[in-house]
């Protein structure tokens, strides 16, 4: 079968690799129907992470189950399934508390599982899924082609935006500012709206992204960045700032912008993968700013978000503005790297 392999920075190829097989009774074999490229995939693509090359990349996919191991009871061949961006048993102490990303038996696509068996990346034709009962969420029926893109966002980007809103504690009628206009930031706007936020400001300089932010529920757009952007947010919200700020970038500048956009007593939910972020705890102390968030435990949110996606209440799949066949995966990466695409879907 074919799968995406990152050989070196900006050298990404679709290679022939071993077709996965069941290894453990708790496994499933899933044929991928659609996958996508994450903003976080761009860090190794650009050579900005310590690189162990070549490696199998991709962690967001939906597909159809082909085979299950003897211990799998809730997932069956033929099911259409959503795979969260980490695998987890959904039964351990930490999964029970909703922190599936820290599952004691869990792991990351493209890396060996805890038994030492290789696990496929998500940007390929077939994936061996460990802990199939715990990891996968099956839809009640086979989705339409249009719905596939919507469901694919439940693999990472929409629940990650939701995690920012939940971590901040967004309440009905509250004011919210979103830092970051990537797919996660746009998803955070949608998630805040879904949770009942009264007034949402999206921070974006790009017309296409501003349009999606407005469609997702942002009432106002702030194009300025940094201290100017934060000052504009404070102006909009009575000169004091937003009740809740959703930080969806992960840089030192974006966190500073988030801190200065929050009102005294406000809370920041952060989901941007941090790179060189430092916090001013004295500033947080004097202004009573709270901070929560981290890597999104997507699996804990999928069942909550799925009904609203299936009935069209929310359309998180609007973040995909480019779809390419898997064999053009290198073009998909280039488009996201050059920011000509917000988010690329890979079709199979
Ligand atoms: Zn667990």
27 Cα–ligand 1 center, Å: 15
Tokens of 139: 């839809």
Q: What is the pLDDT of residues 174-220, one digit of tens each?
A: 999 999 999 999 999 999 999 999 999 999 999 999 999 999 999 99
Token representation of residue 99: 């922190």
Would the pLDDT of 64 be above 70?
yes
Q: Give me ligand 1 centre to Cα 134, in Å.
A: 8
Residue 102 and residue 99: Cα distance in Å, rounded? 6
What is the Å distance from ligand 1's center to 174 Cα?
Answer: 33
Percent of the chain at pLDDT > 70 equals: 99
Q: Mean pLDDT throughout 286-290?
A: 98
Task: Calculate how far, in angstroms, residue 183's C-alpha sits from the geometric centre of ligand 1.
Answer: 27
Is the pLDDT assigned to residue 49 strictly greater than 80? no
Q: How far apart are the first and last CA of the chain?
A: 12
Contact at 8 Å (CB) between 80 and 142?
yes
pLDDT at 297 over 70: yes
Average of per-residue pLDDT across 114-119: 95
Centroid of ligand 1 to alpha carbon of 86 (angstroms): 11
Q: What is the pLDDT of residue 294?
A: 98
Distance 130 CA to ligand 1 centre (A): 12
Q: What is the 132 CA–ligand 1 centroid distance (Å)?
A: 12
Per-residue confidence at 48, pLDDT binned at 50, 70, 90?
A: confident
State the SS3 of the chain: CEEEEEEECCEEEEEECCCCCCCCCCCEEEEEEEEECCHHHHHHHCCCCCCCCCEECCCCEEEEEEEECCCCCCCCCCCEEEECCEECCCCCHHHHCCCHHHCCCCEECCCCCCCCCCCCCCCECEEEECCHHHHCEECCCCCCHHHHHHHHHHHCHHHHHHHHHHHHCCCCCCEEEEECCCHHHHHHHHHHHHCCCCEEEEECCCHHHHHHHHHHCCCEEECCCHHHHHHHHHHHCCCCCEEEEEECCCEHHHHHHHHHHEEEEEEEEECCCCECCCCCHHHHHHHCCEEEECCCCCHHHHHHHHHHHHCCCCCHHHHCCEEEEHHHHHHHHHHHHCCCCCCEEEEC
* Per-residue model confidence (pLDDT) at position 13: 96
| Alpha carbon of 131 to ligand 1 centroid (Å) | 9
Q: Across the chain, what does the average pLDDT equal? A: 96
Contact 249, 40 (CB under 8 A): no
Q: How far apart are CA 165 and CA 292, in angstroms?
A: 10
Whole-number pLDDT of residue 187: 98
| Cα–ligand 1 centroid distance for 224 (angstroms) | 42
State the distance from the centre of ligand 1 to the C-alpha of 136, rounded, in angstroms.
13
Is the pLDDT reported for residue 51 higher than 70? Answer: no
Task: Output the CA 84–ligand 1 centroid distance in Å.
Answer: 13
Query: What is the Å distance from ligand 1's center to 82 Cα?
Result: 17
The pLDDT of 252-259, averaged and rounded, is 96
Q: pTM above the 0.75 mark? A: yes
The confidence score (pLDDT) of residue 90 equals 98
CA of 76 to the centre of ligand 1 (A): 21
Locate tokens 């071993």: which residue? 18
- For residue 109, give the nearest of 160, 55, 174, 187 by alpha carbon: 55
Q: Which of 70, 79, 72, 67 is nearest to 126 (CA)?
A: 67
What distance in angstroms lies between residue 232's CA and the mean position of ligand 1's atoms?
Answer: 43
Give 96 Cα–ligand 1 centroid separation in angstroms.
Answer: 7
Residue identified by tokens 């001013």 is 280
- How far, in Å, from the CA of 282 to the mean position of ligand 1? 36
């Amino acid at each position: 079968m074919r799968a995406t392999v990152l050989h070196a920075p900006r050298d990404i190829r679709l290679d022939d690799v071993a077709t996965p097989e069941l290894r453990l009774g708790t496994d499933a074999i899933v044929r991928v129907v659609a996958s996508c490229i994450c903003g976080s995939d761009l860090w190794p693509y650009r050579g900005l992470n310590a690189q162990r090359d070549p490696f199998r990349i991709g962690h967001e996919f939906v597909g159809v189950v082909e085979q299950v191991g003897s211990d799998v009871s809730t997932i069956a061949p033929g099911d259409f399934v959503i795979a969260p961006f980490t695998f987890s048993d959904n039964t351990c102490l930490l999964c029970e508390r909703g922190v599936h990303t820290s599952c004691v038996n869990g792991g990351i696509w493209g890396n060996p599982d805890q038994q030492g068996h290789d696990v496929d990346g998500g940007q390929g034709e077939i994936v061996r899924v460990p802990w199939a009962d715990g990891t996968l969420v099956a839809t009640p029926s086979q989705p339409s082609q249009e719905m596939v893109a919507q469901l694919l966002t439940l693999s990472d980007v929409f629940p990650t935006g939701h995690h920012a809103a939940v971590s901040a504690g967004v309440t009905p009628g509250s004011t919210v500012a979103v830092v970051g206009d990537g797919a996660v930031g746009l998803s955070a706007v949608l998630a805040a709206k879904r949770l009942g936020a009264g007034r949402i400001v999206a921070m974006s300089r790009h017309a296409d992204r501003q349009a999606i932010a407005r469609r997702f529920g942002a009432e106002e757009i702030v194009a300025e960045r940094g201290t100017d952007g934060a000052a504009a947010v404070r102006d909009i919200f009575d000169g004091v700032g937003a009740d809740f700020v959703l930080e969806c970038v992960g840089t030192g500048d974006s966190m500073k912008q988030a801190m200065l956009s929050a009102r005294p007593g406000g809370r920041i939910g952060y989901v941007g993968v941090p790179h060189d972020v430092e916090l001013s705890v004295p500033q947080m102390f004097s202004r009573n700013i709270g901070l929560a968030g981290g890597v999104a435990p997507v699996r804990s949110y999928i069942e909550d978000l799925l009904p609203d996606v299936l009935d069209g209440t929310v359309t998180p799949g609007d973040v995909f503005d480019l779809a390419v066949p898997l064999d053009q995966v290198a073009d998909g990466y280039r488009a996201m790297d050059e920011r000509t695409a917000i988010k690329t879907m890979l079709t199979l």
